[in-house]
Amino acid sequence: MLGFQLRHFSVSQSKLFFQSSKTLVFPLLSTLGIMFTDAKSQLRAYNASSSEPSKLLFRQLFENESSTYTYLLADVAHPEKPALLIDPVDRTVERDLTLVKELGLKLIYAMNTHVHADHVTGTGLIKGKVPGVKSIISKASNSKADLPVEHGDKIYFGNLFLEVRATPGHTVGCLTYVTGDGPNQPQPRMAFTGDALLVRGCGRTDFQGGSSHQLYNSIHSQIFTLPKDTLVYPAHDYKGFTVTTVGEEVLYNPRLTKDEETFKNIMENLNLEYPKMIDVAVPANMVCGLQDLMKKPSEASPC
Ligand SMILES: N[C@@H](CCC(=O)N[C@@H](CSS)C(=O)NCC(=O)O)C(=O)O
């Protein structure tokens, strides 16, 4: 009965519903295991009210072999401490889930900025180990996920949210996730740029539908327009950096401070070797992890 009512709520109606009776509704919904039926409602499932206090817990985690950063974010002021992981790696899933457990968080999303070519995502493994976790990736990536998102979507975890920005160029479906703009959202803002913008660098553009024209424009229009103090957290670093700011990259990025023609020329002459794992990683990540590739299509989970 309640499920029937929820299916017929519009997004704005469901937000009102949560705002007016959240203290009753959250425990009741979890107890009943009510599932939200459309993706937009699911992205708002943990949204209570923007006037409620929020407190960001943030961790930057590193995976050595692929030099990948995974990010853990949670709203620890919310009674359920809803949390999400950005760009988890298969090899470090145990470490990440142990941390989630030790901190008393409720992991709700395992999300990727794009289909990675250098490592296998941890998303599929996480879904197998933590029931209820939903996977997120861009619709434009054409890969499997519970919640395919697109530019302009908002991903709520408690009273915090991430804004979805399309930043294609390294791959066709690359996204940057940016912390919300508004009351109770972290200041300065934080941008999780995946392989679009790296510290004093950027993602390569020579495979997976890459385009230096698109990457140049994505970074200038979607990242460099953020406030100068926005913290930039990339998916990789190969030089020992951990974080930068939009202001720093606008001034000092050796590739993006150039005009587009010079940028294209730089990108065409990077002469990087193909990632060692590309032939394994890309097909696996299209179905959110290696384990699903090994199953018959009829057994694979919607990841
Ligand atoms: N050597 C590594 C791959 C290194 C690499 O190509 N990194 C990518 C991001 S992962 S696809 C990249 O865009 N690098 C840009 C740069 O300027 O370094 C491996 O074999 O995995």
Q: pLDDT digits over 233-250, tens only? A: 999 999 999 999 999 999
Q: What is the average per-residue pLDDT within 63-78?
A: 98
Residue 116 CA, closest ligand 1 atom number:
11
Instruction: Give the integer Cα–Cα distance in Å for 225 and 230.
Output: 10
According to the 3-state scheme, what is the secondary structure of 121-139? ECHHHHHHHCCCCEEEEEH
Instruction: Give the integer Cα–Cα distance in Å for 204 and 111.
Output: 21
Least confident of 44-58, 128-142, 259-273: 44-58
Instruction: Give the integer Cα–Cα distance in Å for 138 and 196.
Output: 14
Q: Where are the beta strands (DSSP E) in the chain?
A: 56-63, 68-75, 82-86, 106-111, 134-138, 147-149, 154-157, 160-166, 175-179, 190-194, 197-198, 201-202, 231-234, 244-245
What is the DSSP pairing of strand 82-86 with strand 68-75? antiparallel
Confidence of residue 37 (pLDDT cuts 50, 70, 90): low
Write the residue with the smallest CA distance to atom 13 of ligand 1: 203
**Are residues 230 and 188 in contact, defined by beta-carbon separation less than 8 angstroms?**
yes
CA of 231 to the centre of ligand 1 (A): 22
Least confident of 51-60, 118-127, 262-271: 51-60
Domains and CATH numbers, the chain: 1-34 (no CATH), 38-293 (3.60.15.10)
Helices (H) and strands (E) in the chain, counts: 10, 14
Test site for ligand 1: of 69, 116, 195, most ligand atoms within 8 A of the Cβ:
195
Instruction: Give the integer Cα–Cα distance in Å for 208 and 241.
Output: 26
Write the residue with the smallest CA distance to atom 21 of ligand 1: 275
pLDDT at 33 over 90: no
The token duo for 48 is: 């209570």
Q: What is the average per-residue pLDDT within 60-87?
A: 98
Instruction: Give the integer Cα–Cα distance in Å for 133 and 302.
Output: 12
Confidence of residue 301 (pLDDT cuts 50, 70, 90): low
Strand, helix or coil at 24?
helix
Write the residue with the smallest CA distance to atom 9 of ligand 1: 203
pLDDT at 71 over 60: yes
- Lining ligand 1 with CB less than 6 A are 66, 117-118, 195, 201, 203-204, 236, 238, 270, 272, 275-277
Least confident of 20-29, 185-194, 195-204: 20-29
Instruction: Give the integer Cα–Cα distance in Å for 111 and 93.
Output: 13
Report the pLDDT value the prediction gives residue 22, as an integer from 0 to 100. Answer: 31
pLDDT at 52 over 50: yes
pLDDT at 278 over 90: yes
Surface-to-core class of residue 66, CB atoms within 10 Å of its CB (0-12 exposed, 13-18 middle, 19+ buried): buried
Write the residue with the smallest CA distance to atom 2 of ligand 1: 275
CA of 195 to the centre of ligand 1 (A): 9
What residues does 35 pair with on adjacent strands? none
